[in-house]
Chains A and B, each alone.
Chain A
Amino acid sequence: MPFLKNILSSRSLSIVGLEKNTGKTVCLNYVLRRLHELGVSTAVTSIGVDGEQTDSVYATAKPEVTMYEGMYLITSERHYLQRRCVSEILDLSNQRTALGRLLTARILSSGKALISGAAATAILADQISRFKQQGIQLTVIDGALSRLSLASPTVTDSMILATGAAVSPNLQQLISKTRFVCRLIDLPEVEPAIRTALSQATSGLWALDSDGLAHDLNIPSVFMLSSANSDLFRYGTTLFASGAVSDRLLKILAAKEEIKQITLIIRDFTKLFVTPEVYNDFVRRGGSLMALRKSHLAAVTLNPTSPHGYALDSHTATQALSDALNLPVYDVMKIEQ
């Protein structure tokens, strides 16, 4: 029974894939079955519409998700009518998706269903909190193609990262790409006092002085920053970027004399849109990165088969990835055993 106990303490879980065909749905099916066996009250939804019954990108079959008696489901009208289980409609929302309105149902007799959901993380967060209020222990969210945003700790408490040969058929590249994402997920979290101090910082770039007080640097967006800004450190070298951070900011900071003292705080790893090269350079020069909130990475799963038919050796690949990440890694295809 791998990694289930890592999940049980959280109220919401996102399953995100680094690529299509990394075995997200297999993983979701495994998680749901285990939750059912453990008698955990569970709700399931998805971010956006992840293709139709066949995967729209590679035309491989999109597996349906097996839902169990007593579970709650949010999906679109169209997908609901295609389900192969007995379930009862509890609520219909006025939010429309490409596949009709979203509805909430309770599964009366186990069976398969297609899951689609709201495209906006704000709506997801709202649905999760509503399920929480209704006493649902865990809400599981199926991720969509390259949407890491739902794994933000502001949306879900913990996450499962699915990776595999679809990311790269070259094991070394697969490891390096996955390790980079894991490193960002694993950025150290700031002290609660700092989080409180920065709670007012909703936009732009801020600085923390030696007394822990936050100051607005009056730069409306980090994208407007140029290397000419010389007084960036007038309050100290601990900075907070309230929004998205790109290569640009890291490059500017890495070029500063004070780089060894610089700590850049970001909201969470989903706000970081940087390339490994620039990130590594920033860190190598002595800069450090921290997150206001850290995501809880419950597990990493690996699908050794790529949609193009290429297959890695399961044992070698999981072992190598596990060593590189210093985390247990599970082959989704063998997870059941």
Chain B
Amino acid sequence: MLLRDKLQSDPGFQYIIDALNLISAAGRRALLDFPFLTTPETVNAELDNLKTVIGVVSVMENLHTVSEIKHHLMCLHDSQGTVANLSQHSVINEVELFEVKNIAYTAAAVSRSAEPLGLKEIFSLPDLSDVFSLLDPDNTGLPHFYIYDSYHPDLPDIRKRLKQLQARTDDPEAATLYADLFAQHNDIQHSVEAKLSQQLWASADRLALAVKRLAYIDLLFAKAGLASAWNFTRPQITPSNQQQAEDPQAIKQADNQAFTQYKGLFNPRLLHRNQEHRLRYQPIDIIVHPGLCLITGANMAGKTVLLKTLGIAQLLTQFGMYVPAESATVTLVDDVIFCIGDEQNEMNGLSSFASEIIKISEVVQLSASQRLLILIDEPARTTNPVEGKAIVQALSDILISRDSFSLITTHYSQLGVPCRRLRIAGFREDLANATLSPENINLFMDYSLVEDNSDTVPQEALRIATLLRCDESLIQKALQHLKNQ
């Protein structure tokens, strides 16, 4: 599974990925091809590299050298095709030879700048000085390229004669001579291109590696820049239970240790929108364990946002990035499944209920063999409440004993499922008499989570409808109906 497969899973995730300031096309590709990491070793190795780069970037004195590296990356061309041509033992033309020289030049320049920053090891760029020398026969040290005179003994003379003839192309005889001579000149150029290509075939792998590493460096800087700018934090990774696989006691112990906890978790997209509108934003604290947790709360209390933000933080962690929180401890999962209700896909001819139930069925099957982070927003809300409630109960029965982290938001009461319940605090009663409006509602909401032992859900739908200046007669009639029940 690659990052490109997860890009569409949530707009808030895409918002963060889009904010990564990648300089090169290769870096952009490295981002999209970044694998979903599932072992603590790989995630920690990635986060270690990121931490080192963040450390370097945050030192004022390093900024000049850092921008030097970025400048070199900016000059990197999209040379994937050229390197592929070389590894297939094709003859490449002078534009492609220029690209190869450019890769060698950039790798050397970045490596040189990395040294005083102590990043040379993390960058681990292959040495391509032989490639550069081959393409720089006159030792100019510059990344420019043409078929230099020194590549062929006949070139200097032929070029001299061409120059003389060019001066008198008005003379038809000279023009013919010029055309012939230029054809000859091009033949020599092609033979040089063929010879150089052959000499470069053996270096194709090293060139490919250099492009890959340079792209990775671009990505590391982008991740580091974003983490610093948006106040992200490094997640601690809980040890995996596979390490002590032989010892059943140890597995049990590791399972007990499995939890994911965030302090001050925030959703960057929402935070930025609120900041733009000068609105308050309340980060949240949460701890989740394997098994099922039901999330309840009034409408507009932020249940969906909570699910989405948990999913985003998990994805970021496993794509080797810092997370939007004050502190975080994360247990790795095999996949993050969003089932957030915008699943309706008219193009597939599926109703919202159909696509939801298909996804839920997938979750049930997958979670039998994998540890997942399952985020389901108000399952079965688009069908009749009798069957809908039964579906939620059945789903809960299954997920409660699974190894996955399952979070389900619901408005159904009396589900009778013996699982953990978290309620979003909702309206601050101390401010109950204040004048509320749709614009200032978030001033009067407490978005923090409280453990809830009751099996009932808050009933504040009509109150919120009133706040939203819903039609008076509608509300009065609804209240009447409630009374009659």
Contact = CB atoms under 8 A, between A and B. Distances in A.
A84 B189 CA distance: 12
Q: What's the interface size class on A, roughly? A: 10 to 19
A89 B145 contact: yes
B95 A89 contact: yes
A79 to B, nearest CB: 11
Interface stretch (A47-55, A106-114, A118-126, A280-288): A106-114
B95 A109 contact: no
Interface in A88-145: 88-92, 94, 101, 103, 106, 108-111
B78 A109 contact: no
Contacts of B356: none
Interface string B33-77: 000000000000000000000000000000000000000000101
Nearest to B94: A89
Contacts of B102: 92
Contact of B95 (A84, A103, A110): A103
Contacts of A86: 146, 159, 162
Given A81-B93, A110-B166, A89 B159 contact: no
A66 to B, nearest CB: 8
B144 A92 contact: no
Contacts of B93: 81
B interface, over-half SS: helix
Given A81-B93, A81-B95, A103-B95, A89 B162 contact: no
A67 to B, nearest CB: 11
A12 B95 CA distance: 27
Contacts of B201: none
B182 to A, nearest CB: 5
A82 to B, nearest CB: 10
Interface in B71-127: 75, 77-78, 93-95, 98-99, 102
A80 interface: yes
Nearest to A87: B146
Nearest to B155: A86
A165 B420 CA distance: 87
B25 interface: yes
B163 A92 contact: no
A93 to B, nearest CB: 8
B98 A92 contact: yes
A89 B77 contact: no
A77 B146 CA distance: 14
A189 B63 CA distance: 45
Interface in B168-197: 182
B166 A111 contact: yes
Contacts of A94: 25, 77-78
Given A77-B95, A103-B95, A89 B166 contact: no
A84 B163 CA distance: 11
Contacts of A111: 162, 166, 182
B82 to A, nearest CB: 10
A106 B142 CA distance: 13
Contacts of B163: 109-110
B78 to A, nearest CB: 6
Interface in B298-314: none
A92 B99 contact: yes
A89 B98 CA distance: 7
A111 B95 CA distance: 19
A88 B25 CA distance: 24
Nearest to B158: A86
Nearest to B185: A86
A106 B145 CA distance: 10
Contact of B146 (A84, A91, A108, A110): A108
Given A81-B95, A103-B95, A109-B159, A88 B144 contact: yes
Nearest to A110: B166
Nearest to B97: A89
A159 B81 CA distance: 40
Interface in A138-169: none
A106 B163 CA distance: 16
Contacts of B78: 94
Given A109-B159, A109-B162, A92 B146 contact: no
Given A80-B95, A109-B162, A89 B146 contact: yes
A81 B163 CA distance: 19
B419 to A, nearest CB: 53
Nearest to B102: A92
A109 B102 CA distance: 23
A81 B77 CA distance: 18
A152 B348 CA distance: 49
A91 B159 CA distance: 23
Contacts of B95: 77, 80-81, 89, 92, 103
Nearest to B167: A110
Interface string B349-375: 000000000000000000000000000
A91 to B, nearest CB: 8
B480 to A, nearest CB: 47
Contacts of A91: 75
A329 to B, nearest CB: 26
A48 B78 CA distance: 22
A223 B145 CA distance: 51
A86 B162 CA distance: 10
Nearest to A77: B95
Contacts of B182: 84, 111
Contacts of A84: 182
The 7 residue pairs across chains A and B that have the minimum distance between CB atoms: A88-B146, A89-B98, A92-B77, A88-B144, A89-B145, A90-B144, A109-B163
20 contacts: A81-B93, A81-B94, A81-B95, A84-B182, A88-B144, A89-B98, A89-B144, A89-B145, A91-B75, A92-B99, A92-B102, A94-B77, A94-B78, A106-B144, A108-B146, A109-B162, A109-B163, A109-B166, A110-B163, A110-B166
Given A86-B162, A91-B75, 10 more contacts: A77-B95, A81-B93, A81-B94, A84-B182, A88-B144, A92-B95, A103-B95, A109-B159, A109-B166, A110-B163
